[in-house]
Amino acid sequence: MRTYISLALIFLIGVFPCSSQDGDVKGTTPSNTARTITMIRVTDSIYMLKGKGGNIGVSVGEDGILMIDNQFAPASEEILNLVRSLSEKPVQFLVNTHHHGDHTGGNKNMIANGTVVLSSDNARKRMIQGERDAFNKKQDEAFSKLVKELEASGNKAKAVEKAKEKSKEKGADMSEFEATKNAYPMITFSKDMTFHYNGEKVMVFHIHNAHTDGDALVYFTESNVLHTGDVFVNGRYPFIDRENGGDYDGYIRALSQILNIIDEETKIIPGHGELGNKGNMKYSHDMMVALKNSISFHVLSGKTKEEILAMKELTKEYDAAGFGDFYITAEKFVAMIYDEAKRKYPKPAPKK
């Protein structure tokens, strides 16, 4: 069956446009005695680390340590201490499943520790663009502040010109942006790649336009363990990052393809939530399809966003299961689906 899953995962690349908790160990850092990260044994050699950011996957073996995602920068020390409790070998490789900071915030710390970081091409581009956007925003704010200070002279036009001159004197020209060194993946891929590591084949696949346009899945073939990043979040409404290439239908398509190739024994490390299985993923997939269909029906019937948001029965089942208790509430999720439906069906169907 594992050979079949491996072959099916290879097939998955062609069809896209190009559980039980066995162990529980909690970690601390010297500077923070609060227990913030829980380590869960998935198999004898694979662990899941749960904390404030995205779930981390860790493969430990004779070759060394391969890690998937790394939460926020302040957690790096605690994460490394936990990993060292499993093995004295170094963290050789780190795979970023996508660009969001709750999964990649510790990249710079891990690179400083000697780790080689990998991601899809798009994920790396998005990380650098995020830093560029933050730089530009900071420059805009500094420029506006300088203009206000100079406006005291009473001539706004002259104040703007003086602000431009002072910005150049201080080297604050937008064109001078440079990405931080040793903070981003140094190896990237456009489709897929394979590790032969710790006694098994580890397959990494780029999934197009699901949670973002830079998502990656990591599958441990012998262990039958899949890390999905945020292409699957267990027991909660997912966030679809449209501004960074995410797509609701693409997300459903990704889950559908994964469901067709995993089996009942596959253990799933989700981007967020508890360790999952095929049943958990199918429930999330079916939830997304059901809500899309029902909300699209009401959009085509001419209902307004406010009227649809008031239909609490649409999400009653999933809200009772706790899906709306996290970052994406039921209201946010319904509003997102409404917006998607309006883009797809801009005019309601004519009444007969």
Angle at 273 between CA 271 and CA 274, to 5 degrees: 115
Residue with tokens 């995962």: 9
Q: What is the pLDDT of residue 149?
A: 64
Angle at 122 between CA 121 and CA 125, to 5 degrees: 90
> Which residues lie below 8 Å from residue 172, measured CB to CB, with a gap of 6+?
139, 142, 143
Residue with tokens 């995410």: 246
Instruction: Assess contact for 98 and 123: CB atoms under 8 A.
Output: yes
3-state secondary structure of 182: coil
Helices (H) and strands (E) in the chain, counts: 11, 13
Nearest to 196 by CA among 221, 216, 215: 221
Q: What is the pLDDT of residue 307?
A: 98
As a residue count, the chain comes to 352
CA dist 215 and 213 (Å) reads 6
pLDDT in tens, 132-180: 888 888 777 776 776 566 566 666 666 556 555 655 555 444 457 788 8
Tokens encoding 94: 């780190």
Q: What is the pLDDT of residue 15?
A: 42
Q: What is the pLDDT of residue 27?
A: 37
If residue 122 lies in a helix (H) or strand (E), which one and from where to where? helix 121-150
Enumerate residue ranges in the chain where pLDDT < 50: 4, 7, 10-11, 13-33, 171-174
Instruction: Assess contact for 258 and 228: CB atoms under 8 A.
Output: yes
